Structure 1
Amino acid sequence: MSGMRMRESGGADRYDRRAGDLGNSVELGHVNVTVPDQTRATAFYVSGLGLTRDPYLMTGVDNMWVNVGASSQFHLPAGRPQVLRGRTGLLLPDLAALLDRLAAARRWLDGTAFSFREGEGFVDVTCPWGNRLRCHRPDPARFGRRTLGMPYVRFDVPPGTAPGIARFYREILGMPGTLGEEEGAPAARVAAAADQWLVFRESDAPLAPFDGHHIQITLADFSGPHARLSARGLVTEESNEHQYRFTDIVDLDSGKVLFQVEHEVRSMRHPLFGRRLVNRNPALTNRNFVSGHEDWPPAMPPA
């Protein structure tokens, strides 16, 4: 027994156990923006980015769900275009192949807001309707051992709001956050799941009016945040027994609205929680096809 205690004591010195804390949110499930043209959405998200349309759900012509790794999606229902006020971060396994696909997609996307630019270790991309994405190469030190996914959604927020936003998520939703800098500006970084974050970066740029887009998170403690949100009159939709929604992120002292983005909040009992998402290998074509290489593993192989 004494030897076991010694090993446990030594382990406590070696590890920062706080690094294993997750908080109340266990999933950053999807980003939802409406798009007016499903054909161009396919050209951008599937052919250009190399992502995978969900083969099981929303397979019609008025909505599409696009898989991004093991647990995240874009939801793209038909409608007036919505633009997230910030950008979505993606992990993609091969940025050189991404640049080739984006160049090939130009022929379908001429006359739109579509553009792309290569940076140092990333590619910035704008969708046909103005949504911004930053595509990163896999990096275990930054994003965990994943090759494909949605590591963060970053919002541009008014100056001076980051501390209040971090406090809102911490005290209302039980999602831990830190204050720091993002690209030279004050920012709040809120844990949304393992190796997934919501980032709120302060910006002096004029903020576009909120147009109704939403993100989806899943909470382990589903009822506690609901009670706290309801007490402040912030719940906007009682969807069903597994889901509710709210939009306003407020200062907890004054009640002033700091930022708006609709949150679709699910419980871990939601039927879609933990559903396996199909991810294809976008490098495989009818010309170079090899059986057994159709799927893309969203995690790195064992170390």
Structure 2
Amino acid sequence: MNQPSMNRAATNEAYDRHAESLGHVVELQHVNIRVPDQIAATNFYISGLGLTRDPYLMTGTDNMWANVGISQFHLPSGAPQVLRGTTALVLPDRAALLRRLAGQRRNLEGTRFAFRETEDAVETICPWGNRIRVHAPDAARFGAISLGMPYVEFDVPAGTTPGIARFYREILQAPATAEGGVARALVANGQYLVFRETDAPQPDYDGHHIQITLADFGGPHARLKQAGLISEESNPWQYRFLDIVDPGTGVALFRVEHEVRSMTHPLYARPLVNRNASINNRNYRPGHEAWPFALPPEPG
């Protein structure tokens, strides 16, 4: 009897099984940056970029969670924080984005707000100086993401990227590479932390943070604790660390707080509401309010 074709396919040695490995980091959930003005933040992140304010959590006037696909910006009120690098987004319509941003010029006059087109992106600056690079969906570069946060890129000192890649590989057990002054760590399906070397002077770290989720929650904690790197034991499902160090020497290479959660955290993989930013009261059509964060399937 002939074996079913699916069995033959399953033994095809042409598959690269390492290509689909995620390591132990399974979620890049949010970038947290304090903002001094919630109205200006709404004008930029919601009205300008076209993101969606989370309708269920942080709905008051002292914090805002802005949904972008399966990730978020967390924007609590306070002295402004500026990420030392660039947060990248994928948004579905460049022309609509440019119209929305242009429409916020008057509302954000007198701030650092700016935007410009490049060949493959729209480079924006928030009212307090955070750089956000907006790409169009591109299956070759970003996989199936039609709305999301494909990478967060940090500016780091020259010579640090090999050690940074070792840190993510050995301490967090995330696939990571370093080449040509750039380190890339895979921290979720289709999402990366990128570290790009620069000689330009950088401001002091101001307390902004990112949040990741680990499948192996205890192993990295033990290695971080042994190295004296745990900065906060938050609760049963969460801890934090500040410094990225070279695992071989212990030398600190870069500081950015990582809020680390377990997959048993109550907020892990919480479904997020994402609106279709092109819908308004003049062009409304029932059934088109939401925007899927993944590209549609291929025909057939």
Structure-1 separation of matches of 2:2 and 2:240: 52
- Which residues in structure 2 correspond to 1:60-209 (within 5 Å)? 60-69=60-69, 71-181=70-180, 186-209=181-204
Aligned match of 1:28: 28
SS in 2 for 1:295: coil
- Quote the offset at 1:8 in angstroms: 4.2
- Quote the offset at 1:3 in angstroms: 4.2
Letter in 1 for 2:141: R
Aligned match of 2:52: 52
SS in 1 for 2:105: helix
Letter in 1 for 2:8: R
Q: What TM-score does the superposition give when structure 2 sets the normalisation length? A: 0.96
Q: CA RMSD in A?
A: 1.4
Structure-2 separation of matches of 1:154 and 1:9: 37
- Quote the offset at 1:2 in angstroms: 7.3
- Quote the offset at 1:17 in angstroms: 1.7
- Quote the offset at 1:132 in angstroms: 0.2
Structure-2 separation of matches of 1:125 and 1:240: 36
Aligned match of 2:275: 280
Structure-2 separation of matches of 1:154 and 1:179: 14
SS in 2 for 1:128: coil
Structure-2 separation of matches of 1:265 and 1:9: 36
- Quote the offset at 1:180 in angstroms: 2.4
Letter in 2 for 1:161: T
Please say if residues 153 and 195 of structure 2, whose CA atoms lie closer than 8 Å, have aligned partners that are also in contact.
yes
* 1:245 corresponds to which of 223, 228, 240: 240
- Quote the offset at 1:47 in angstroms: 0.2
Structure-1 separation of matches of 2:248 and 2:278: 52
Letter in 1 for 2:246: D
Please say if residues 211 and 261 of structure 2, whose CA atoms lie closer than 8 Å, have aligned partners that are also in contact.
yes
- Quote the offset at 1:75 in angstroms: 0.1
- Quote the offset at 1:9 in angstroms: 7.2
- What percentage of aligned pairs have identical amino acids? 65
Give 4+ residue runs of structure 1 displaced > 3 Å after superposition.
1-6
Letter in 1 for 2:134: C
Letter in 1 for 2:216: D
Q: What TM-score does the superposition give when structure 1 sets the normalisation length? A: 0.95
- Quote the offset at 1:157 in angstroms: 0.3
Aligned match of 1:42: 42
Q: Which runs of 5+ in 1 are unaligned?
A: none
Please say if residues 171 and 247 of structure 2, whose CA atoms lie closer than 8 Å, have aligned partners that are also in contact.
no
- Quote the offset at 1:208 in angstroms: 1.0
Q: Which runs of 5+ in 2 are unaligned?
A: none
Aligned match of 1:11: 12
Structure-2 separation of matches of 1:109 and 1:215: 26
